Amino acid sequence: MIPKISLEQWAAFKAVVDEGSFAKAAEALNKSQSAVSYAIAKLEEQLPTPVLTQQGRKAVLTEAGKQLYRHATDLLAQAATIENTAKYLASGWESEVTIAVDALFSMGAVFCALQHFSVSSPQTRLRILETTLSGTEEALLGRKADLVLTGTIPPGFSGTRLGEVSMIPVVGQQHPLVQLMQQSGPVTEQELGRHRQIVLRDTGTKREQSSGWLRAEQRWTVTHAATSIEAVKNGLGFAFLPKEKILQELEAGSLIEVALAEKMERFISLYLIKTERQNAGPATQAIAQQLIERYGKPQPKCVT
């Protein structure tokens, strides 16, 4: 069904409501007052109920008009979005960008950068793949993502270093290792290995990579970093987790760093890789720039 009322008529209706009079609406639309009056008259001809009533010199919405005003506002916004999207596509701006993010990265910091990007590019859809270990590399090698945030750079690729993350062993408040540390001080690797370890599953199809220290006989494997954090907080085991991702839990005391007799904290560099470095589109380039400028740096707020 083809609508009988044009966008121009709905725009005139919205302008009259927003401005409060036909004269001011005509000025806002850069049209003559007679053109606005004609558009409103044609609109009301097509509707089974009045939408405006005159109170003195002011045009006021009827009850039906209030509901139609909300719909008209949405309709005009959608029409503007379609036009802007067409302009973006004509300029070569990608309609969608896919980003693979390794579990090492702080999603809060990633989202902060993406939020700044979205302010200037709301038409671009983002698809975020959460990956672990070889799954991140597969996303890169298989061209499943336009940008990849990873802890390793495969041969044949180059990346921009965004910072580093430290992996530390942690347990929940009620874990037996907490009491052991209180009584005897730092624990040994052997003592650590007697307890259940929570490890992240490799999301790659071959699952060939190790997530680091895996000497505990008892192991529970989970898919997501958030699940690992919850499991440790609930006393189900210990885990080596990125310190930057658990700062709030460490500060609150819901997670406690395991003091080891043999220092085992390790640092992993974090990289941004463009899958098509030479042919990356403008949206991909813009997101990459936001990540380079903002990831790992103090941000007063995430919305400009």
Question: Residue 40 is inside which H or E element, if any?
Answer: helix 33-46
**Does the pTM exceed 0.75?**
no
What pLDDT, on a 0 to 100 scale, did the predictor assign at position 83?
A: 86
- Its sign, for the CA torsion 236, 241, 244, 250, is positive
SS3 letters across 106-128: CHHHHHHHHHHHHHHCCCCEEEE
- Alpha carbon 99 to chain centroid, angstroms: 10
What pLDDT, on a 0 to 100 scale, did the predictor assign at position 2?
A: 83
First CA to last CA across the chain, in angstroms?
41
What pLDDT, on a 0 to 100 scale, did the predictor assign at position 302?
A: 64
- Sorted by where each starts, the structural domains of the chain and their CATH numbers stand as 7-90 (1.10.10.10), 96-162+269-294 (3.40.190.10), 163-266 (3.40.190.290)
Tell me the pLDDT of the chain (304 aa) as tens digits.
Answer: 788 899 999 999 999 999 988 999 999 999 999 999 999 999 999 999 999 988 877 888 999 999 999 999 999 999 988 887 787 777 778 889 999 999 999 998 999 999 999 988 888 899 999 998 788 888 888 899 999 999 999 888 999 999 999 999 999 999 999 999 999 999 998 899 899 999 988 887 765 555 555 677 798 999 888 999 999 999 999 999 999 899 999 999 999 999 998 876 688 999 999 998 888 899 999 999 999 998 977 765 665 4
What pLDDT, on a 0 to 100 scale, did the predictor assign at position 304?
A: 42
| 201 DSSP 8-state letter | P
What pLDDT, on a 0 to 100 scale, did the predictor assign at position 214?
A: 63
What pLDDT, on a 0 to 100 scale, did the predictor assign at position 92?
A: 76
Cβ burial of 113 (10 Å; 0-12, 13-18, 19+) is: buried
Pick the closest to residue 85 from 36, 123, 35, 126 (CA basis): 123
What pLDDT, on a 0 to 100 scale, did the predictor assign at position 91?
A: 74
What pLDDT, on a 0 to 100 scale, did the predictor assign at position 64?
A: 93
